[in-house]
């Protein structure tokens, strides 16, 4: 499997989530299953089935996180010297050329992207349009909803 780029901060967050799942959630779910089993008939035991379903989701997430972290190529954004160009891990301030609205994003790996927190995936259309640009450049983002132009107002490496 190929390496998965991830920021140092993103790797830390994923390790913390994995630790939480393994040390807190997994024992709690196991205990809930044991308690539900004690109630008797498993065929009509909603608590047992809910706990088993939760166990399945939790174990799947653990497997996913372990896979991502084992193949991760951690990139420390603070040590980058990209001469003001937008690269993986860069934080950017963009101005929508049409509306004048300002947005801030950090370009991160697929596993750590979260648009609600301003972290966009390196494989997203907007990130692909931004890579290599610098402050003052115009980026033309082609997305399913149409084409949007953004002016790069600032680039930083946090």
- 82 with 15, same domain: the answer is no
Residue 30 has pLDDT above 90, yes or no: yes
CATH of the domain at 148: 3.10.50.30
Residue 138 has pLDDT above 90, yes or no: yes
Model confidence over 11-25: pLDDT tens digits?
999 999 999 999 999
- Euclidean distance between CA atoms 53 and 38, whole angstroms: 18
pLDDT of residue 65: 94
Q: Is the dihedral of CA 86, 115, 143, 94 positive or negative?
A: negative
- 116 with 147, same domain: the answer is yes
Domain tally, the chain:
2
CATH of the domain at 51: 1.10.287.180
Residue showing tokens 């809930």: 32
pTM: 0.79
Model confidence over 40-61: pLDDT tens digits?
777 778 888 899 999 999 999 9
- 59 with 99, same domain: the answer is no
What range defines the domain where residue 29 resides?
4-75
- The percentage of the chain sitting over the pLDDT mark of 70, rounded to a whole number, equals 99
Model confidence over 67-95: pLDDT tens digits?
999 999 998 888 877 788 999 999 999 99
- 67 with 23, same domain: the answer is yes
Q: Which among 20, 45, 75 is the end of a domain?
A: 75
- Binning pLDDT at 50, 70 and 90, where does residue 119 land? very high
**Residue 158: both structure tokens together:** 């946090």
pLDDT of residue 1: 55
């Amino acid at each position: 499997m190929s390496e998965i780029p991830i920021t140092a901060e993103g790797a830390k967050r994923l390790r913390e989530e994995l630790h939480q799942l393994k040390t807190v959630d997994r024992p709690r779910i196991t205990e809930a299953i044991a308690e539900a089993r004690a109630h008797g008939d498993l065929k009509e035991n909603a608590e047992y089935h809910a706990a088993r379903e939760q166990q399945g989701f939790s174990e799947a997430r653990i497997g996913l996180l372990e896979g991502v972290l084992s193949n991760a190529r951690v990139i420390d954004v603070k040590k980058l010297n990209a001469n003001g160009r937008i690269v993986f891990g860069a934080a950017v301030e963009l101005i929508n050329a049409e509306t004048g609205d300002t947005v801030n994003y950090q370009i991160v790996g697929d596993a750590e992207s979260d648009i609600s927190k301003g972290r966009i995936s390196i494989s997203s259309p907007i990130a692909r349009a931004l890579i290599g640009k610098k402050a003052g450049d115009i980026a033309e983002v082609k997305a399913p909803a149409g084409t949007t132009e953004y002016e790069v107002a600032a680039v930083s490496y946090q």
